Amino acid sequence: MSSEIREWAQQLPVGELFDFDDVQRALPEISRDAIRMSVSRACRGEDPLIGRVCQGIYTRRRVGARYPARLPIKAIRELPWRFAGPGAGVTGPYAINMFGWSTQVSPRLWVAMLGRTPDRTGLGAIFQRRFNTSRLSLNRWEVSIIEAVRCFNDWAELSFDDASAKFNDYLQRGYYGNEIRGDLIVDAAENERGLGPEFVPRVRTLVGVV
């Protein structure tokens, strides 16, 4: 059983996060207890194939690296998003700086997510709870656009007209590297609550939906 789990883990990209449920779906013939024991054994040693990221979350390591690290950078960066789940995006000063609307650099990632925020420490992020399930139809980039407009007045150093012009200029230049599904973003924005009369028109302006 240990060899089957090792073979499965070796096929994962380095830094890929997984938990016992992922292993169970891939190898349904192996019991949960056997999976737990085998994964625990695979984490032992000086240069193990599997690294424990936090309780219940593991990652595929690069074995035999010239400069071995306990955990791959990719795994560390993706951990907050693993907990955030679908419908999440960046928010706060992190989002505003990402769009070039402020020179203030947040030392930590800020994540807006649906549902209850994690009660764990050490995830490297500040989590903000949201309730609009329309965000589930959006990707991380699109949710981040909504969040940037949501917290614009709190963190931006530009007028909204200047910020909108800068956003569209960067978008045309390919700096963001993403297409915008404007109609879906506006639909989700219209389901946000308590954000004042400027919010939805600003989202419409930003994504080019009249």
Could you tell me the sign of the dihedral formed by the alpha carbons of 141, 183, 96, 151, in that order?
A: negative
193 and 98 co-located in one domain: yes
Among candidate residues 10, 42, 76, the one where a domain is terminated: 76
Task: Return d(Cα 72, Cα 106) in angstroms, integer.
Answer: 22
> Beta partners for 109?
125
Task: Return d(Cα 131, Cα 192) in angstroms, integer.
Answer: 8
72 and 90 co-located in one domain: no
CATH number of the CATH domain containing 22: 1.10.10
Note the pLDDT of residue 1.
53
91 and 71 co-located in one domain: no
Among candidate residues 76, 111, 127, the one where a domain is terminated: 76
63 and 107 co-located in one domain: no
71 and 7 co-located in one domain: yes
69 and 91 co-located in one domain: no
Note the pLDDT of residue 180.
83
10 and 105 co-located in one domain: no
89 and 158 co-located in one domain: yes
> Does the pTM of the predicted model rise above 0.85?
yes
Q: Looking at this protein, which amino acid is placed at residue 155?
A: W
Note the pLDDT of residue 210.
45
The per-residue pLDDT for range 127-182, each reduced to its tens digit, is: 999 999 999 999 999 999 999 999 999 999 999 999 999 999 988 888 877 678 99
Identify the domain containing residue 159 by its residue range: 85-207
Which stretches of the chain drop beneath a pLDDT of 70?
1, 121, 178, 209-210
